[in-house]
């Protein structure tokens, strides 16, 4: 069982690194998400087998048995899933906004894009900066 989990973790991490080395932001995002799942599977595989050597199962701590399951890795994985979900939502939002503003998700094309310029107001002097509240500071 441990060998199967180790092979699964190796495949997931390998595929995620391959995706993160891509030139498309979609592939990079999928690689980051897949790496999070690989990390969760690694924590789960390191936490130990729920099956005892003689074939019985470990019990949850609430039952008070003598062979208990360690709940810490499960709590860490649950926290990691929640954080990964939040990062996924933020990253996908950035992908959508980038695709709408630039029309591409290719990293090379995005590197050649001109950065957006801040809009200048016609009533302000470019040598003077604006301070909150509408007041201006003196120029050099």
pLDDT digit of tens for each residue in the chain (140 aa)?
Answer: 678 888 999 999 999 999 999 999 999 999 999 999 999 988 888 876 666 666 676 666 666 666 666 778 888 899 999 999 999 999 999 999 988 988 888 888 888 888 777 877 666 555 655 555 555 555 55
Q: How many domains does the chain have?
A: 1
Question: With the C-alpha atoms ordered 30, 33, 37, 39, is the resulting torsion angle positive or negative?
Answer: positive
In a domain, 55, yes or no: no
Q: Give the predicted TM-score (pTM) of the model.
A: 0.67
Q: What per-residue confidence (pLDDT) applies to 62?
A: 61
Q: What per-residue confidence (pLDDT) applies to 29?
A: 92
In a domain, 98, yes or no: yes
CATH number for 96 = 1.10.287.3510
In a domain, 130, yes or no: no
Q: What per-residue confidence (pLDDT) applies to 105?
A: 87
Max CA-CA distance within the chain?
82
Q: What per-residue confidence (pLDDT) applies to 73?
A: 83
> What is the distance between the alpha carbons of residues 7 and 13, in angstroms, rounded to a whole number?
10
In a domain, 82, yes or no: yes
Q: Provide the Cα torsion 23, 96, 94, 40; round to 10°.
A: -70
Instruction: List the domain range (segments joined by +) for residue 93.
Output: 2-48+70-112
């Amino acid at each position: 069982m441990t060998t199967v989990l180790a092979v699964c973790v190796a495949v997931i991490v390998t595929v995620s690194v391959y995706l993160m080395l891509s030139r498309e932001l979609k592939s990079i995002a999928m690689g980051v998400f897949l790496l999070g799942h690989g990390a969760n599977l690694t924590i789960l595989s390191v936490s130990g087998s729920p099956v005892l050597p003689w074939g019985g199962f470990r019990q949850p701590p609430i039952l008070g048995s003598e062979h208990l399951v360690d709940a810490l890795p499960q709590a860490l994985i649950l926290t990691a899933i929640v954080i990964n979900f939040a990062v996924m939502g933020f990253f996908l939002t950035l992908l959508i906004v980038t695709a709408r503003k630039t029309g591409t998700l290719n990293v090379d094309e995005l590197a050649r894009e001109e950065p957006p310029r801040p809009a200048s107001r016609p009533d302000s002097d470019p040598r003077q900066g604006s301070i909150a509240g509408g007041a201006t500071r003196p120029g050099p």
